[in-house]
Structure 1
Amino acid sequence: MELELQTKQFKEHLDKLKNRYVENNPPENKKDKEFFLMVKEYTTPIHALLEEWEEKSLEVVKDRKVNIHPQQVTSTRENMELLIMHSFYIDAKRKRYMELNHSVHYVLDQLLRELRM
């Protein structure tokens, strides 16, 4: 199933972003154009996947194929967008970042379990 594959890819991106957050330091200048362009290039495919994932997930939720609320899907997308930026700019406290990361993983894992049933 395509949604299952997208969800697994989503989880891989989430783990890579977490590693980036943990292992890197914030940029010296947050207005550095080169840094911004690097971030944009790296995150554009993630944003595209995220948009497609949300659309497909909401379809599955509306068809009642999974026991997840539409708001969980939307919140997961929003949280992932925050994580993407925090992973590069390292501008969130560690506790907050990990809470967002855990929240996204929780919904993704729940969706994967429901899809396999």
Structure 2
Amino acid sequence: MDLFKNTELLLNHLMHLKEFFEEGKPPDNIRDKAFFLQVKEEVTPIYELLEEWEEQALKSVKNREVNIHPGQVNSTKENMDLLIMHSYYKDIRKRRYMEYHKSIRYIFEQIIHELK
């Protein structure tokens, strides 16, 4: 897939994770193996897509197809990694979660806008 499509997919995942964070309840036991396996099954495709996205985004930055800094790409990937787990384990304050969410969303939307 191309960067545009992957960014749209990740933006959709980001919105879904936010809904899950806001509406879901924290796990009763974070050491529960069934919960861990469920989370692993759900997030593995997102992590794989995120890895692919990072490579594509860095290549696009290098080729000057998008006007963002490579550090922003790396930070967005790292923040999305954190956000994924915080969405399930709910071990972060809502304000901090929303800061991650907004910064990730800003970069995704900027890439989509520039590639249109």
TM-score tier, shorter chain, comes to over 0.9
One-letter identity of the residue aligned with 2:67: N
- TM-score in terms of structure 1 length: 0.97
Give 3-state SS (helix, strand or coil) of 1:68's partner. Answer: coil
Please name the residue that 2:9 is paired with: 9
Please name the residue that 1:89 is paired with: 89
Bigger RCO of structures 1 and 2 (CA < 8 A, at least 6 apart): 2
- TM-score in terms of structure 2 length: 0.97
Distance 2:102 2:13 in 1: 14
Please name the residue that 1:52 is paired with: 52
Q: Where does 1:1-117 land on structure 2 (aligned, <5 Å)?
A: 2-116=2-116
Q: CA deviation at 1:2?
A: 1.4
Aligned length: 116
CA RMSD of aligned residues (A): 0.9
Q: Which ranges in structure 1 are unaligned for 5 or more consecutive residues? A: none
Q: Which ranges in structure 2 are unaligned for 5 or more consecutive residues? A: none
| Dislocated runs of 4+, deviation >4 Å | none
Provide the identity percentage.
53
